[in-house]
Amino acid sequence: MSQDSHKCHCKSPTDRSAGPDVRDPPRSDGGVALCGACRDKKTCRLGLISERLDETGTAWFELRCPKDHEGGPNVAHGGWTASVLDECLGHVPLLQGVLSVTAELAVSFIKPVPIERPVEVRARIERREGSRIYISGEMVLLPGRAVLARGKGTWIARDRTHFAHFENWLAEQDSMSGANQVALTKARA
């Protein structure tokens, strides 16, 4: 087991912020790695039910679009489809023990996605160049496997310090805008 293992369902803000930096995140009953917003509910709010990596490196996901992501009548909002592809494609490195963040994502919307019908996403790493990981995948309607959407994008492998660096960057932004506010107030006085 890696030193990054994380078996508990942490509650404190400190522990929650550490969550995304672990290679073994909390999972739903179906084994879906849970993002920060879904950990307390212990279920993926996008509707992911299960995930698995096969021996060829392809990741498979079972899901349904929840009713509360309805866009057009009885079909998914496009933002749900894009979010699911971001999530599923982003899980492929994670399933292989690699932390990453999305840098670019392109989505082709082929057919509307019906609400609360079983769909499947499969995704795989196409290639790696330096820290860049190129991933593609598609969403199909079960059981006939008609293609509903395709996604492809670039993920950047990151280390555990990524979000700490971001917190520092954000504090700098806040202090700069605070200093600007003071200067503006003085200039107006």
User: Where does this chain bind ligand MFK (CB under 6 A)?
Assistant: 20, 25, 33, 35, 86-87, 90-91, 94, 101-104, 129-132, 154, 156
Contacts of 8 (CB under 8 A, 6+ apart): 15, 26
In whole angstroms, give the CA distance from residue 65 to residue 48: 8
Backbone dihedral angles phi then psi of residue 160, each to the nearest 5 degrees:
-70, -15
Q: How far is the CB of 56 from ligand MFK (least distance, A)?
A: 21
Query: Residue 153 has what DSSP assignment?
Result: E
Residue 131 and residue 156 in contact, taking contact as beta carbons nearer than 8 Å: yes
Q: How far is the CB of 187 from ligand MFK (least distance, A)?
A: 34
Nearer to ligand MFK, 50 or 154 (CB): 154
Q: How far is the CB of 135 from ligand MFK (least distance, A)?
A: 10
Residue 135 and residue 144 in contact, taking contact as beta carbons nearer than 8 Å: no
Nearer to ligand MFK, 55 or 129 (CB): 129
Give me the DSSP letters along 38-101.
GTTTTS-TT-EEEEEE-TTS-EEEEE-B-GGGB-STTBB-HHHHHHHHHHHHHHHHHHTT--EE
Nearer to ligand MFK, 132 or 150 (CB): 132
Nearer to ligand MFK, 66 or 83 (CB): 83
Q: How far is the CB of 66 from ligand MFK (least distance, A)?
A: 18
Q: How far is the CB of 101 from ligand MFK (least distance, A)?
A: 4
Nearer to ligand MFK, 106 or 147 (CB): 106
Q: For residue 161, count other CB atoms closer than 10 A to its CB.
A: 10
In whole angstroms, give the CA distance from residue 32 to residue 39: 11
